[in-house]
Chain A
Amino acid sequence: MRIIILGCGRLGAIIAKRMVKDSKNQVIVIDKDNNSLAKLGNDFSGKVMQADGVNMAIYSQILSEKTDIFLALTNIDNTNIMAAEIAKQKYKVDKVIARIDDPIRAKAFEELGIETFCPTTLSEKRIIKMMTPAKTEEEKGD
């Protein structure tokens, strides 16, 4: 699969490293900061690109080739949204996932057909769960 990851913070880097383990995957990581890309290490077998995620020009370069998955994982909601929308609407990438920290914003764009996940909501659920003593069988599950 051809996978493009925008944003090479902790999250982006960890997912990129995991995805390249499968030799069938072609992974491209984009970040505007070279230092962030360095997190991937010298042995990273995917491709890295230093570029700003809000600059349309890069997408015409990388998304014109058929792409299976586009992940927008920077820490800026608006950048992720715009990048995801470009990938989805203009380049018709099959699966587009965007990280959106603001829960309400995440919900709003989910309605527009972009798959979103919200670290805030996920953490919230997790923390609440950690604070509540385990009661039922299924909750013990994870």
Chain B
Amino acid sequence: MTQQNTERKFVIVVGAGKTGYNLTKLLMEEGHEVLLVEKSKARYFELNNELGESIFLGDASESEVLKNIGTNRANVLVAVTGDDDTNLVICQMAKIMYMIPRTIARISNPKNEDIFTALGVDNIVNTTQIVNSLIEKEVDAGMLVPVMELKGGKVEIVETEITSNSPVINKQIKDIKLPDDCLIVSIMRGDDVIFPHGNTVLEKDDTVMVLVSKDKKAELRKIL
């Protein structure tokens, strides 16, 4: 079953840290052609026995190296070194010089996300942000459950249940003082979905979906 479902891709992974190493193994198991590029000799020799020809010793931000590893025929390049600037430059060079269809970069400093997107990196894995939002999810449990992030996390759709001690129970929406940048988009009541109006009344056990900007979440939580 699995053999025929995907076309085999050539993926270049840059940086043989834990992420790069495990990603390489995973992709290989899935039958892709993978080349892991590592610039530290020590790390290279550590993994060389196991990975053999699938690991290459060199600095992928050097144009010579990109050429030698056959970047021109790669389908995807993933840069997961520990340095944001290195990851950015490698992805850009792969794009400019070899027109690689898809580049993915890991970033550690969440503030860099915008600029990476603006500079043409296709996908960004923002490790710090992911861990942070997991922690927030944990904290939010039972209160505002994130459903979807929009605009890179600036705006969110959250879900919350109206409990019996909620101050908004049996109130019309127009009488609830919601913060700015906050909109109740739908209400799930039993099997029904309600498209709310100003005079819709919130009842106990309603699940309310709210579109809210990130910095207004705390205010929203107090109100509901």
Q: Which residue of B lies closest to A103 (CB)?
A: B63
Bound together, the chains give a CA A104 to CA B96 distance in angstroms of 12
Q: Is the CB of B111 within 8 A of A108?
A: no
Partner of A90, one of B62, B89, B114: B114
Q: Is the CB of B83 within 8 A of A78?
A: yes
Which residues of A lie under 8 Å from residue B97 when comparing CB positions? 104, 108
Which residues of chain A in 71-130 are interfacial with respect to chain B, using CB atoms and an 8 Å cutoff? 76-79, 81-82, 85-86, 89-90, 102, 104-105, 108-109, 111-112
Which residues of B lie under 8 Å from residue A57 when comparing CB positions? 111
Partner of B63, one of A56, A82, A104: A104
Q: How many residues of B contact A (CB 8 A)?
A: 21
Query: Nearest-CB distance from A104 to chain B (Å)?
Result: 4
Which residues of B lie under 8 Å from residue A55 when comparing CB positions? 109, 111
Q: Is the CB of A102 within 8 A of B62?
A: yes
Q: Is the CB of B83 within 8 A of A85?
A: no
Known contacts being A77-B89, A79-B85, is A54 close to B114, with CB within 8 Å? no
Binary B-proximity of A29-65 (CB < 8 A = 1, otherwise 0): 0000000000000000000000000111100100000
Binary A-proximity of B46-60 (CB < 8 A = 1, otherwise 0): 000000000000000
Known contacts being A54-B84, A78-B86, A82-B85, is A90 close to B63, with CB within 8 Å? no
Q: Is the CB of B111 within 8 A of A77?
A: no
Partner of B89, one of A60, A78, A86, A89: A78
Please count the residue pairs between chain A and chain B whose beta carbons lie under 8 angstroms apart in the complex: 63
Size range of the chain A interface in the assembly:
20 to 34
Q: Which residue of A lies closest to B64 (CB)?
A: A104
Which residues of A lie under 8 Å from residue B119 when comparing CB positions? 85, 89
Question: Does B162 interact with chain A (Cβ within 8 Å)?
Answer: no
Q: Which residue of A lies closest to B111 (CB)?
A: A56
Q: Which residue of A lies closest to B63 (CB)?
A: A104
Q: Is the CB of B61 within 8 A of A77?
A: yes
Question: Does B168 interact with chain A (Cβ within 8 Å)?
Answer: no
Which residues of A lie under 8 Å from residue B96 when comparing CB positions? 108-109, 111-112
Q: Is the CB of A105 within 8 A of B84?
A: no
Query: Nearest-CB distance from B93 to chain A (Å)?
Result: 6
Which residues of B lie under 8 Å from residue A112 when comparing CB positions? 92, 96
Bound together, the chains give a CA A108 to CA B63 distance in angstroms of 9
Question: Does B88 interact with chain A (Cβ within 8 Å)?
Answer: yes
Question: Which 4 A-B pairs have CB atoms at the shortest separation, nearest pair first?
Answer: A104-B63, A56-B111, A82-B85, A78-B85
Q: A residues bordering B, Cβ < 8 Å?
A: 54-57, 60, 76-79, 81-82, 85-86, 89-90, 102, 104-105, 108-109, 111-112
A78-B89, A105-B63 given. 14 additional CB < 8 A pairs? A54-B109, A55-B111, A76-B85, A77-B61, A77-B89, A78-B85, A81-B85, A82-B84, A85-B115, A86-B115, A89-B118, A108-B93, A108-B96, A109-B96
A-B contact pairs, 30 of them (CB 8 A): A54-B83, A54-B84, A54-B109, A55-B109, A56-B115, A76-B85, A77-B61, A77-B89, A78-B61, A78-B83, A78-B89, A79-B85, A81-B88, A82-B85, A82-B89, A82-B115, A85-B115, A89-B118, A89-B119, A102-B61, A102-B62, A102-B63, A105-B61, A105-B89, A105-B93, A108-B93, A108-B96, A108-B97, A109-B96, A112-B92
